[in-house]
Structure 1
Amino acid sequence: MALELIGKLIKVMPEVTGQGRNGAWNKQEFVIETLDSQYPKKVCMTVWGDKAADLKQFAEGDTLKATFSVESREYNERWYTELRAFRLELADGADSGYAAPARPAPAQQPRPAAQSQPVATPFNTSFDEESNDLPF
């Protein structure tokens, strides 16, 4: 399952290398902030192997489109989840960050304007019987 996330690159972590039973490995983590103006989210992702070199061509502040997969593994009865990016590219004029499945989401009905915001009463307002225009 491939997902996509569009956002601004805000941090690149140092590259981590090591030696495993299958040979040498390297990985690098980076953080993308989604461009959703109301609720932006920061998401930490990882690139492995040769993809770490691809990350070096981008600068902090660039708007990226990251294609990734979600993987979880268990270690000592605890689960660890990783967002593993396998394609990074500059986003071309995208205006919002999202993680979207391969199929489109159903359309949502807009709410009427009258129900959008409740009217707030100031905290220090006092009510007396003459100013109360309720019918009962």
Structure 2
Amino acid sequence: MTYELSGKIKLIQEPKTFDSGFTKREMVVTVEDGRYPQDINLEFVQDKVGLLDNLQAGQEVTVSFDIRGREYNGRYFNNLQAWKVVAAEGASSDPNSPAAAPFAGGGDSFEDQDIPF
């Protein structure tokens, strides 16, 4: 079952690689939930670790994830395992990206502009 949440990135951890070769990276997203914002920890594993490379704290994102649960020594643990991150429209972690620079000119769309060439 797939879940989604939207919020602002609070923290992105460095990747951790274990002796077994397993790699994970965690990100905390602050979700506005009424009066008390919630800091949600999501983990990205193996090939999904790279999805965080072009993101930074403060960005608005929507994250798709699965809930994973397991038992260990009679205790139960849950993880939110993310597999997709989409930056909010108009937001970009790359300052050289065209989406990062606002369109200069009047009118409501690109087609409304008189192009001098």
Q: TM-score w.r.t. structure 1 length?
A: 0.62
Instruction: Tell me how large the CA RMSD over aligned residues is.
Output: 1.5
Amino acid in structure 2 at the alignment position of 1:4 = E
Q: Relative CO higher for 1 or 2, CA cutoff 8 Å, sep ≥ 6?
A: 1
Identify unmatched segments of 5+ residues in structure 2. 91-117
Which of 16, 25, 38 is the matching residue for 1:41? 38
Between the two proteins, the alignment pairs up a number of residues equal to 90
Question: 1:13: which partner in 2?
Answer: 13
Question: What is the CA deviation profile of residues 5-43 of structure 1, one whole-angstrom value per residue up to 9, with x for unaligned ones?
Answer: 0000001122110132xxx22000110001345331110
Structure-2 separation of matches of 1:52 and 1:14: 10
Pairing 1:66-105 to 2, within 5 Å after superposition: 66-92=63-89
Identity percentage over the alignment?
29
More helix by share: 2
Runs of 4+ in 1 over 6 A off after TM superposition: none
Q: In the alignment, what sits opposite 2:61?
A: 64
Q: Which ranges of structure 1 fall in alignment gaps of 5 or more residues?
A: 94-136
